[in-house]
Chain A
């Protein structure tokens, strides 16, 4: 006996009320609960609400463990981020960036560029964060764990920039290696974000096709 749309919406609302905020986590939990409830309805001949209540009463603790403590594995993201480093496109861009820094070191524009670079980075990080909040939280009113889990990388880069490159300190005499190194990390972040968005759009396209 397949669930109707109202049954699915009921499960989704139940999870939402119980603080399962991420759409992707909630979708997986909804399918799990719906499949389990369907199976019990078929074998017991009971109605949806009765089976659902019984199922949730017995399994609530385990079910919500799916939603708790999911942040620990964000550290897997750090590994994923560094895996992007060895991709040809990322390697080539970083190589070009290093060559650009090396060959423009004696140019007049380089010094002011270097001086302002930490501030540009800061603005970019803030722009990306604010864009995510406005687009997903306010416009779409949907939060995706798949998207938000990469914020740990952004947070690490933000703090490195704030503490080591000190965007608000003038005449900080930043070393070239620090500027080049951090710029390379930011290039990797761009490629990493493109990868994430590609996967996200792929999933959205598959979902919309059905």
Chain B
């Protein structure tokens, strides 16, 4: 992941937002989707992604489905009911944060 605390703090919200849009995704798919959306600017590493996914799963925000794909097991993640509600809250929080940061960094834009 890009070496920035700003991105690190938003990793869970990024994952949840993607799962909200796509329904269910597996780890590698998430890394590639983020890379694609940000045109290669944001690269989520395996070492950051999987612990975050496991944590969200343990918190009951994500559910897991396992399927056999091309001779191997693939673990898909999807939002639980609680996760869907939490995504809405976290996105609202993130939007508020972005708005506030914009006002601080570039006050002229707020007029």
Main secondary structure of the interface of A (DSSP, over half): helix
| Cα distance A61–B48 in the bound complex, in angstroms | 12
Q: How many residues of B contact A (CB 8 A)?
A: 26
Shortest C-beta distance, B11 to chain A (Å), equals 14
Shortest C-beta distance, A8 to chain B (Å), equals 5
Does A148 interact with chain B (Cβ within 8 Å)? no
Chain B hits for A80, CB < 8 A: 58, 60
The reply to whether B71 and A31 contact each other, CB–CB distance below 8 Å, is: no
**How many A-B pairs with Cβ below 8 Å?**
79
Main secondary structure of the interface of B (DSSP, over half): mixed
| Cα distance A3–B74 in the bound complex, in angstroms | 13
The reply to whether B66 and A203 contact each other, CB–CB distance below 8 Å, is: yes
Does A59 interact with chain B (Cβ within 8 Å)? yes
Choose, from A62-70, A106-114, A160-168, the stretch at the interface: A62-70
Interface, chain A (partner B; CB < 8 A): 2-5, 7-8, 27-32, 34-36, 38, 59, 61-66, 69-70, 73, 76-77, 79-80, 83, 203, 206-207, 210
